[in-house]
Structure 1
Amino acid sequence: MPAPPKRGTALRQRLAELRGPDVPAAPLDARALAALAANPGCRRRALLDGAGVDKAALAQSLGSPAPFGQSQFAFMRGNAFEAKVKADGGAELLRLVHGRLGGGPEPVPGESSVPDLTAVGPEGRAARTSLALREATEATVATEATSTGRWTLLDHPMLALDVAGTPAFLEPDAVVVHPDGSWTVVEIKSFPMIDGSADAAKVGAAARQAAVYALALERVAAHMDPAPRIRDHVLLVCPKDFSNLPTASAIDVRKQLSVTRRQLARLTRIEDIAAALPEGTTFDVNRPAPDLTAAVESVPATYAPECLAACELAFHCRERSRDEGSVTSLGRSVRGELGGLTTVEAVLSAATGTSGDPADPTVAALRRAATLRAEALSGGGASGGAGGSEC
């Protein structure tokens, strides 16, 4: 009798079945993880991301495509700017790191280390990155007595992070090992930094992504003795004003680290969600739309307006949320204010006095608001009628 497959192998087989035959897994990047951590109660997104389902293709097949993605021009501009920042062995980048964060003597061009991180597959690249980080950190101890100030730049390292029971491989723009042995995450973006400040929403998104990278670095550092310090300030590099010259700012990500760590820990394990699905469920985008819709609806979702900026399935989930009359579709703050009233129908019923406990503060506030609205409409209607008769 053949031995049953190991737990990890069985889970990978199940996730492959959910994607469909011969469909490669879509990579789970830091942007997706940051969005996933922002809405940990959404089992649908957790399962689809964990299984590597292409949500953009899935939304297209469902008839609710979302306008996500970057223009080819912006993509090429971003790549050109990143290449400029990392030119000459990362001399300019290391100068910016030293100027904003310190951590050792000023780097000398040509004397910094840029290790080769090439390897076979994401697992191999992650292992090679861990080894390079260990070697660079140990080298700082050896050079400390001579004060040689050796800096190390890891260009596009590969990091692994366990997310709800399944590994995610992440690729930050860069990680710098300072001569004092500390590590810094570097984010390189093509949006401008004008007069020393950039768009707050874009900076916030970059900080959340960088926090995910820092969490993955914590997993690497935990296997080292002594564990190196991972700086809680990341370096954000952007074009200065309206030029192509790089400038940088140190971004404090302690809050993002705390929130992301807590939210990822709360995520339901992928295998538990998959085990609750009906037999034969698959999200193969080549299947008919009705079958795909049934498969998607078999996984509970938690929609909020914030999903429109972070999830490819947001339009589909918004339509379903509106059909169900869910209060969450109006926003999490509204949902929090309404307490146990979870549908628009229940809210309207409580406001008109058809249902609800008058002693409930939420119900009382709704009825008061309904009364004030009725009075305002009544007064406006009378005034409008008088004006019409005079004309």
Structure 2
Amino acid sequence: MGNGSGTAQGNTRARFEQWARNPLCQANTLSAVHNVRMADVARHLGYRPSFGQSVFALTRGNNFERQILRDEGARLLEELIRTDVLPEGAKGLADLRVRMNGGPLPSLEEAIEATKGLLGALADPSGPGSPPRPAIIASPTVLIPKGVMLPEAVLILDVLAVRYDRGRPELTVGEIKTYPDRGGHTDPHQLAGARAQAGIYLHALELLLAELGCGDRVRLRRTGCLVLTRPGSNFPSVRAGEDLRYQTERARRGFELLEAAARGLAPFESPGDDPIDAVARAETEYSEACLRFCDRASQCHAAALEAGNPAVLGDEVRRFLGEVDLGRAVALLNGGDPRTAGERDLLRRLRRAGSTAHP
């Protein structure tokens, strides 16, 4: 679920988000594509990892998911109907969770095949037998093809709501989080992160439906829902109608860029090359975003500071100074003569900024 339950789910989604936060860093790209944890690289280099999710948060997330999916998803179903994600009278739960996450399926491979089979049955209700018509699908599982991430990677979606009263079966992506829904006071950064994750899931479903050849018989809503908690309880609070168009396009474009980056990566020196050492040797590109997710951020910050990289003062400063390092920028501010075209341009912009600030 959204709190990272299930190694494959949390890992794959986190790898994409890790790459998206700093796609210019070759070491970061290598880490994400080849599934080499940057925490292990940091330990290899003698640094203490500083990121990770607490056992308490993971346990609470797992418990919340189990509670809202109990009794055919009764708690979640009631809230989805109340917010008009599902119509009155909707019922039925298809539980595609694996056993390690409290579900009935023995493996991810079976979950992947079960997801394909269920979506295919929804798209072709005239097929053999009596196809299931669940209102909720828990943990549908999608395979990301090799080439985007190496090896092949798996995305386990949190939940899908399915309604059948509008012609084609209509799927709504739901992202589950355990933080409380405080209406207009819910942390906007947390909401943005949840929407970004839901956008990844929506794009993954697009890919799967296209692979199955049933994209014209099953409708994917471009609005999703966030399943949060009611303050002080383990009951769900659904935020419906979350616009996911931008987040889905971000995921689509991101996967294209990540696949291109994967193709352009230099291979490991030999089959026996240590992946952790390979990431440690790769070129790095420091960004202020690194401070929020990368276990090597302190090392790269120190190296950038020593090199006079303007990024240590933030990405806006780096963009403003361009190719000019901090030492030369200070020299220009102190009256030094510009040496390059870039420095002359920077000096003009600094003077213009100064005259604007002091008319």
Measured against the shorter chain, the TM-score band is 0.7 to 0.9
- Label 1:138 to 1:245 Cα distance change in 2 as closer, same or farther (>3 A): same
Determine the structure 1 residue equivalent to 2:255: 264
Determine the structure 2 residue equivalent to 1:174: 159
* SS of residue paired to 2:234: coil
* SS of residue paired to 2:266: helix
Determine the structure 1 residue equivalent to 2:30: 47
Contact 1:185 1:210 in 2 (8 A): yes
TM-score by length of 2: 0.79
Q: CA deviation at 1:271?
A: 4.2
1:43-82 map, 5 Å: 43-82=26-65
TM-score by length of 1: 0.73
* SS of residue paired to 2:180: coil
Aligned-pair identity in percent equals 27
Distance 2:49 2:191 in 1: 23
Q: CA deviation at 1:249?
A: 0.4
Distance 1:274 1:26 in 2: 27
Contact 1:115 1:132 in 2 (8 A): no
Distance 2:217 2:290 in 1: 37
Contact 1:26 1:54 in 2 (8 A): no
- Label 1:249 to 1:132 Cα distance change in 2 as closer, same or farther (>3 A): same
Determine the structure 1 residue equivalent to 2:348: 364
Cα deviation digits, residues 12-61 of structure 1 (max 9, x gap): xxxxxxxxxxxx99974213312322332222222112212122122122
Distance 1:26 1:131 in 2: 20
Cα deviation digits, residues 181-231 of structure 1 (max 9, x gap): 121221111111124652111111111111111111111111333252222
Cα deviation digits, residues 352-372 of structure 1 (max 9, x gap): 433244995432233567899
- Label 1:128 to 1:269 Cα distance change in 2 as closer, same or farther (>3 A): farther
1:123-134 map, 5 Å: 123-134=109-120
1:126-275 map, 5 Å: 126-139=112-125, 150-162=133-145, 164=148, 166=150, 167-179=152-164, 180=166, 181-195=169-183, 197-222=185-210, 223-225=212-214, 226-250=216-240, 251-267=242-258, 268-275=260-267
Distance 1:93 1:239 in 2: 11
Contact 2:181 2:231 in 1 (8 A): yes
Distance 1:239 1:84 in 2: 11
| Number of matched pairs | 331
Distance 1:282 1:26 in 2: 27
Distance 2:342 2:156 in 1: 55
Amino acid at match of 2:78: R
Distance 2:251 2:245 in 1: 10
Distance 2:37 2:77 in 1: 36
Structure 1 residues not aligned, in runs of 5+: 1-23, 143-148, 286-291, 376-391
Contact 2:95 2:139 in 1 (8 A): no
Counterpart check, 1:114 vs 2:94: yes
Distance 1:33 1:200 in 2: 21
Q: Which has the larger radius of gyration?
A: 1
Cα deviation digits, residues 304-349 of structure 1 (max 9, x gap): 11122223333333233223322233322222222333x2234334
Match of 1:98 among 54, 65, 81: 81
Determine the structure 2 residue equivalent to 1:12: none
Determine the structure 2 residue equivalent to 1:332: 315
Amino acid at match of 1:364: R
Distance 2:245 2:149 in 1: 25
Determine the structure 2 residue equivalent to 1:11: none
Structure 2 residues not aligned, in runs of 5+: 1-6, 99-104
Cα deviation digits, residues 255-293 of structure 1 (max 9, x gap): 222223223322333243133x655884455xxxxxx4x
- Label 1:329 to 1:266 Cα distance change in 2 as closer, same or farther (>3 A): farther
Contact 2:112 2:143 in 1 (8 A): yes
Cα deviation digits, residues 135-187 of structure 1 (max 9, x gap): 23434x89xxxxxx943322222112246364321112222222241212211
Contact 2:15 2:33 in 1 (8 A): no
Determine the structure 2 residue equivalent to 1:304: 287
1:5-16 map, 5 Å: none
